[in-house]
Structure 1
Amino acid sequence: MTMPDSPPAPGAATIPSPSGVGERMNRSAVLWVTLAVFAQEAVWNFYDAQVPEQLRHYFASAGVIGLIMGLDHSWGIFTQPFVGFFSDKLVRRRAGRWPIVLVGAAAASVPFVLIPWADNLPLLMICVVGFAAIANAFKGVTETLVSDYVVRSQRSKAQGFIKAGAALTIIVSSLISLLVVDRSLHLAFAIPPLLMLVMLGLSWTFLGRRHTDSVLPEDKTETVRDFASPWAVMKDALRTPTSPTFLLMIGIFCFAGMWSALRSLMTPYGTQVLDLTRGEAGGLALPGAVAFLVCVLPIAYLSNKLGQLRSMRYGVGLFIVGLLIGFAWPTVPGTIASMIISSLGYASFAVNALVALWNLAPTQKVLGTYTALYTIASQSGMALGPGLLGTTIDLTAWRYMFLNATVFAVITLLVFTRLARRGPDRPAT
């Protein structure tokens, strides 16, 4: 039995997981959107891996470093609702959302390349804040592109391919850390933005220039609700503390915060606990990225059968198992095993969270703004997670990083459990 493709009625208390039977995914569009997301995430992953070590030249406190790494993500909380709402207004025009993505990428590349050239703290902070402010502004718009070309019932599967592309960026970032950072830090910081510009250019050439021919007309026949501002959309979505949208955002906040904290503090952990060089420590995420890449597509297809919320709950449980292994086995092999298992748990969350929010949108014409809701939740978690975990490290020691993260992850599991009870999760049939 196929699930209907029309969006849920406002106030619906379920997060459906459509089967997509009878509808085909636009594979060409998914390929080029995946390349666009890959281009964007290549820069962010290298940023998360290497900027904390750059900050250690000026700060000894892990809490301060984590706070700075978190605050740069907070820019998205303020910019994303407006940029997402503006992109929703552009989506049916000739170029769609693409101008926001292309101009933003070009502007963000400048401060990113200058980071290793900053020889004092004020200049470094200008580069870090400048990159984060610009890159966060268009980050959610890039992720929303898939909703313009792929039918609603196939978006979970499409997200599997897109997240696989994102996993490849972790591999690319790790390889740059391993092969280039210890030889030339300036060259290492120039490679990711160059990749971003080239790949976004290719995506625009083969997909964006055909935007008006490819964009889905599915919302032309739906009953459309008019929203005058992004605040009107958010007020409708978050009308009560028990709404499934609000609870889902809490779960996203918690999980994204802990994942960001681990990614931001893994390189210092490798140098402080495992006695690795900066380049070697930056490569610790590589095996986990490979595991993510291998398993993310099967997870995406399995999520259609299990249901999105159940899949995310299982993912949190697996994430906790990985953290406990990392604490119990504080060696390079143990840390690698921990990152592999934790990455698989995160994959289940990454595939399902944004699509679950899209499925709650009252109309297809506000998907960019709903992506902004995802960004608000995830970026808030990313803003606070590294600082919170870093503070616990200051109070204990780097050796206890994985154990401290486990405490926060258990709280995350409780949130997703409560969410599942409040909003029934229906697998595809």
Structure 2
Amino acid sequence: MKKIWLLGFGFFSISIGWALYNGFVPFFLNHYLASTALIGFLMTIDNYFALFLQPYIGQRSDRTNTRFGRRMPYLLIGMPLAALFFALIPFHFNLVSLIIFMVCMNLSMAIFRSPTIALMPDITPEPERTKANGVINFMGGCGAILAFSVGSFLYDIEEFLPFLAVSAIFLIALLVVFKTINEKRDTISTAMTMTPKINYKKELNSPTIYLLAAIFFWFFAIQGMEALFTLYGVNELGLSNSSSAFSLTFFSLSFVLTAIPSGILGARFGKKKMILIGIIGLVFIFLLLNLIQSVYFLRALLLVGGIFWACININAYPFIVSTGTEQSFGTRTGLYYLVSSLAAIISPPSLGLLIDLFGFGILFYTAAGSMLLALTCMLKVTISKSTEQASSPDKW
């Protein structure tokens, strides 16, 4: 339990970094670019890196064997580099230098993101992974909240202060993880069995393929909804910009608050069952969102929707890991981020095109339809008893 919370500092640093990056870097780009579309494209660099680099690095870390372990070398290289380039971003002197710092920062993040997340199943027994994922997602959510609250305060004082603060957090998180987690000592013995090469034919079994498809469809719905929700609130419901943006925080807040309980329930009743409950719940939430006009009901539905999203998201990663072997945690982490990043790239422009053609009313109908496709895929995921076993009483 203690080591999972300490490992959560790694995920905390990743989340606070991305939240601050997404929140404030567009302001720098806006100094040089008038095109919102071009700014949006530049802000998706990380998703393109995730498509190619993270699966490779995750698979590479499965085959790494050093005195520091399999994952730790990537943290030792990537986190200091990310801290350096993150700190340099506000000190850019023209558009070219800004883009160079952004690209280098994104490359650095790609080096250690998959190995950091793969450490969780490395050191956690199968029945406890949904609980552990709830803990690290809780810490990640707290990081995002701090990025917008404390980060905004620091940004008002000096633009560079939040970036320097996050760089320091990267280095502190690396020190905490490195000092407290010894892979040679803490990794489950079966996870340390080294194989020269991953058998992709074996790893990409039928349950994995259907699960990856389900992951794509539910991220397609969520990423598109989050990207276009504020415009929906302004144009469809007549809310102000700030009121529309504030409404979406109810979705994020309930997700953070129910992250750990969702992991506990996943361990108790099964990961697949919790995911199915979350998908069905979100289908109804999205359909109901088309019918309401009151901002209070809107926020109430988003609050409930965040709970259902936690049921899905907290149990999804442990589930994708459990459908393979212990030797492929890094590979499966990379595949998880590949399909979620692909959804993040495709969803906003696709839903934006549908809105241009049919109006903002199509947003939540499309999101509900995508969730139904995810449900169809999940129903085709066959699992063994060992995969879905409930955890026995423990020290959690």
Fold match, TM over 0.5? yes
Alignment-mate amino acid for residue 165 of structure 1: M
Is it true that 1:354 corresponds to 2:317 in the alignment? yes
The partner residue of 1:125 within 99, 107, 111 is 99
Q: Which residue of 2 aligns with 1:213?
A: 185
The partner residue of 1:102 within 76, 81, 95 is 76
1:246 positional shift:
0.9
SS in 2 for 1:292: helix
Quote the Cα distance in structure 1 between the aligned partners of 2:170 and 2:17. 7
Quote the Cα distance in structure 2 between the aligned partners of 1:68 and 1:318. 34
1:119 positional shift:
6.0
| Gap change, CA 1:356 and 1:289, over 3 Å in 2 | same
Q: Which residue of 1 aligns with 2:330?
A: 368
Q: Is the 8 A contact 1:49 1:266 kept in 2?
A: no
SS in 2 for 1:80: helix
CA deviation vs aligned residue, 1:250-292 (integer Å, no higher than 9, x gap): 1112222343344455677788864346xx8876654434322
Bigger relative contact order (CA 8 A; separation at least 6): 1
Quote the Cα distance in structure 1 between the aligned partners of 2:230 and 2:168. 23
Q: Which residue of 2 aligns with 1:19?
A: none
SS in 1 for 2:68: coil
Q: Is the 8 A contact 2:271 2:315 kept in 1?
A: yes
| Gap change, CA 1:409 and 1:112, over 3 Å in 2 | farther
Q: Is the 8 A contact 2:122 2:188 kept in 1?
A: yes
The unaligned stretches of length 5 or more in structure 2 are: 391-396
| Gap change, CA 1:130 and 1:326, over 3 Å in 2 | farther
SS in 2 for 1:90: coil
Q: Which residue of 1 aligns with 2:304?
A: 341
Quote the Cα distance in structure 2 between the aligned partners of 1:410 and 1:290. 25
1:219 positional shift:
4.7
Q: Which residue of 1 aligns with 2:7?
A: 33
Q: Which residue of 2 aligns with 1:179?
A: 153
| Gap change, CA 1:299 and 1:423, over 3 Å in 2 | same
The partner residue of 1:313 within 276, 291, 307 is 276
Quote the Cα distance in structure 1 between the aligned partners of 2:289 and 2:161. 32
Alignment-mate amino acid for residue 387 of structure 1: P
Quote the Cα distance in structure 1 between the aligned partners of 2:3 and 2:280. 33
| Gap change, CA 1:169 and 1:68, over 3 Å in 2 | same
Q: Which residue of 2 aligns with 1:18?
A: none
1:336 positional shift:
4.3
Quote the Cα distance in structure 2 between the aligned partners of 1:407 and 1:129. 33
The partner residue of 1:135 within 96, 103, 109 is 109
CA deviation vs aligned residue, 1:295-348 (integer Å, no higher than 9, x gap): 122211222344322322322333344445655557765664454333222212
CA deviation vs aligned residue, 1:100-159 (integer Å, no higher than 9, x gap): 113212212333334444465444433333322221232111101112211122212211
Q: Is the 8 A contact 2:128 2:267 kept in 1?
A: no
Is it true that 1:75 corresponds to 2:41 in the alignment? no
Q: Give me the identity figure in percent.
A: 23
Return the TM-score normalized by structure 2: 0.82
1:95 positional shift:
4.1
Is it true that 1:201 corresponds to 2:167 in the alignment? no
Higher helix residue share: 2
Is it true that 1:404 corresponds to 2:363 in the alignment? yes
Q: Which residue of 1 aligns with 2:373?
A: 414
The unaligned stretches of length 5 or more in structure 1 are: 1-26
Q: Is the 8 A contact 1:61 1:394 kept in 2?
A: no
The partner residue of 2:254 within 273, 288, 291 is 291
Quote the Cα distance in structure 1 between the aligned partners of 2:311 and 2:364. 18
Quote the Cα distance in structure 1 between the aligned partners of 2:164 and 2:227. 20
The partner residue of 1:246 within 199, 209, 220 is 209
Q: Is the 8 A contact 1:250 1:415 kept in 2?
A: yes
| Gap change, CA 1:140 and 1:297, over 3 Å in 2 | same
Return the TM-score normalized by structure 1: 0.77
Alignment-mate amino acid for residue 275 of structure 1: S
How many aligned positions are there?
385
Q: Which residue of 1 aligns with 2:393?
A: none
Once structures 1 and 2 are overlaid, which stretch shifts more, 304-313 or 198-207? Answer: 304-313
| Gap change, CA 1:235 and 1:339, over 3 Å in 2 | same
Equivalent residue runs for 1:368-387 within 5 Å = 368-387=330-349
Quote the Cα distance in structure 1 between the aligned partners of 2:289 and 2:163. 29
Quote the Cα distance in structure 2 between the aligned partners of 1:178 and 1:329. 32
SS in 2 for 1:361: coil
Cα RMSD, aligned residues only: 3.3
Q: Is the 8 A contact 1:325 1:337 kept in 2?
A: no
Quote the Cα distance in structure 1 between the aligned partners of 2:147 and 2:311. 22
